[in-house]
Amino acid sequence: MCGFIGIFGPEGADVASEIYEGLLAIQHRGQDAAGITTFTDTFHSRKGFGLVRDVFDEQAMLELRGHLGVGHVRYPTVGVGRAEDAQPFHVNFPVGVAMAHNGNVTNFEELKDLHFRSSGTRLNSSCDVEVVLFVFVRALSERIRPGVKVGPDDIFAAVAAVYEEVKGAYSVVATLPDVGMVAFRDPYGIKPICVGSKVDEDGHVWHAAVSESVVLDVIGYERQFDLAAGEAYFVPASGPPVRKQIGNKPHRPCIFELVYFARPDSMLDDISVYRTRVRFGEAMAAQWKAEGAPIPDSVIPIPDSSRDAAMSMAVSMGVPYREGLVKNRYIGRTFIMPNQDAREGSVRRKLNAIPLEFDGKEVLLVDDSIVRGTTSRRIVRMVREAGAKKVYLATCSPPLVSPCPYGIDMATKTDFIAAGRSREEIAASIEVDYLMYLDREAMNQSARAGNPSVEKFCNACFTGDYPTGDITPEVLESIAGERRDSQQHLLPFKSKVGAGG
């Protein structure tokens, strides 16, 4: 899970400040590293470890000039983690391209063997967007003719080459000096991407492609549409934008975006993240009652992504909603902390209980999911120390049992607390008096209600049914091995970075 923004503005404009503001809006998608690449007569790039505000100072922003640019925030998936892994990436020859992506290339090693190891060509990093960039540029260069401008057909042919060779889940934005900007979404549409535009006071049109629609809201653009699965969108240097449907696979957007990753004020595939989480809460309340579960004195969210569902659940159950856990907003999201030790150590720093809301009470905690169970157990213990008589827990998603090869570092198969355990065993492990997972079909129905045209979501982490059809046990073991290796090579004071976006 990463976040990106690409902007193509009018000649003479500078887009870096808007890219910076856009990256701040999606900082939740990645806190490990950030980068911006712009172009005037040359590429200007600034990348580094840390939050957006840490990577870019006033001098850096002054140097990031140009009317087209790409920005990126990254969270760790796999890889040792070096500064050169930070996105965006750019090449100057045979055609200039700057590119960023969100996702994970599942045949990364295969493509490295095919295009690099066997030819003597060298990669500059362990980041898989470099392979996407290579395939795109190679295909584009094969169509370039002296004196002939690169056009939509050339761009779409290059995107088609990526779809043909690059497997996995990815959404991509790239800027090409003197040519334009292109955005495209993987053939199954697993990773989100939408486009927008604005008209400035001089009547010039600015175009943007972003990971979440909230970016467009923040920088004052009008959201136009989400790219479909296998669709490409090209904004030429002159002339109107062009859309083309290239892939023909069924659309399978990631359900976990709605459960956890995305901001509630975003729209993904015309689905309101906020409204979906409200529906999660309503479905959870109905399921809680149907199971005959104990009625709590209050419903309390584990902030932040479960707050909307918890409030909706409380209202539907006729039980008071309370804020009993206070979050330190200067601590990053523990789900995407780089390793288990970091996750465990950050829980106490991140959350603190309000004893008045727990002392002598039976409380129902609501969370978005349970992955390893470590964080849940520590929160339950904290709540009991605050005086809770009984602690119940409900989650907005079903049990997680299968690794995600598409760019979500939730766990390897042996890490999931739900793998091979009954609900009662999980409840005992995390020390709650009652545990409920939202039914998977109820979760999907809640999401589909926002846009019935989305027939199915990717549920692979709950079922092991991978929509791309090419995820074998060997692929999963390879990813698990990379994660184990990366944890052994963590550098002091630096979190590991992801081969995936």
Query: What number of other Cβ atoms are within 10 A of residue 135's Cβ?
Result: 21
Percent helix, strand, coil in the chain, to 5, is 35, 25, 45
CA 379, 381, 387, 390 torsion-angle sign: positive
396 is in an annotated binding site: no
User: How far is Cα 281 from Cα 306, in angstroms, rounded to an integer?
Assistant: 9
CA–CA separation, 282 vs 299, rounded Å? 13
Pairing of strands 33-39, 194-199: unpaired
Helix/strand/coil (H/E/C) assignment for every residue in 87-138: CCEEECCCCCEEEEEEEEECCHHHHHHHHHHCCCCCCCCCCCHHHHHHHHHH
Task: Number of helices (H) and strands (E) in the chain: give both, helices first.
Answer: 16, 21
d(CA 9, CA 207): 6
Residues annotated as part of the active site: 2
Give the burial string for 2-27 (b: 16+ CB within 10 Å, else e): bbbbbbbbeeebbbbebbbbbbbbbb
- Consult the annotation and say whether 254 binds a ligand: yes
Counting beta carbons within 10 angstroms of the beta carbon of residue 96, is it exposed (0 to 12), middle (13 to 18) or buried (19 or more)?
Answer: middle
Query: Residue 127 annotated as binding?
Result: no
> Which residues are CB-neighbours of 7 under 8 A, at least 6 positions away?
15, 18, 19, 22, 68, 69, 181, 206, 207, 208
> Is 367 labeled as ligand-binding?
yes
Cα distances from 168 to residues 38, 98, 103, 189, in angstroms, run 28, 21, 8, 10
Q: Which residues contact 410 (CB under 8 A, 6 or more apart)?
A: 335, 371, 400, 403, 404, 461
Three-state SS at 156: helix
Q: Is 226 annotated as a binding residue?
A: no
Closest of 44, 83, 80, 74 to residue 62, by C-alpha: 44
Q: What is the three-class DSSP state of 394?
A: strand
Q: Which two tokens stand for residue 293?
A: 């579960």
Q: Tell me the C-alpha distance between 283 and 288, whole Å.
A: 9
Q: What whole-number distance in Å separates Cα of residue 68 and Cα of residue 39?
A: 6
In angstroms, rounded to a whole number, what is the distance separating the alpha carbons of residues 171 and 158? 15
Looking at residue 84, what DSSP letter applies? Answer: G
How far, in Å, CA of 165 to CA of 113, rounded? 13
- 104 vs 2, 75, 76, 406, CA distance in Å? 10, 12, 11, 5
Q: Which residues are part of a known binding site for [4Fe-4S] cluster?
A: 254, 404, 458, 461
Q: Which residues are part of a known binding site for Mg(2+)?
A: 305, 367-368
